[in-house]
Amino acid sequence: MRSPAFDPQRMLGMLAWPSPAQHGLREALRWGSHHSGLPVVVVAALALVLSYRLAKRAARLAVEVVLATAVLLAATRLGWIAW
């Protein structure tokens, strides 16, 4: 008999074995909770918000770098800048 495409037992089995990155994240959240006195959920929410803001700023910086590089390359091609 062929197994179904979506097997809930198999999915639960995969979730039961966290990857090393998940384990490290869990330990970091527990450490932050233990040393700050805040619940783990609050520490996780703070980490999520701060990481989102950091990712937003990093993306904005990456866009600015790409635009500046494009402008410099265009100016070089047009002969306005000689290196």
CB 54 within 8 A of CB 43: no
pLDDT at 1 over 60: no
Q: How many helices (H) and strands (E) does the chain have?
A: 3, 0
Express the helix, strand and coil content of the chain in percent, nearest 5 each.
75, 0, 25
pLDDT for 32-61, tens place per residue? 889 898 898 998 999 999 999 999 999 999
Pull the structure tokens for residue 35.
């040393």
DSSP 37-56: ---HHHHHHHHHHHHHHHHH
| Mean pLDDT computed over every residue of the chain | 85
Q: Return the minimum-mean-pLDDT range out of 7-11, 20-24, 34-38.
A: 7-11
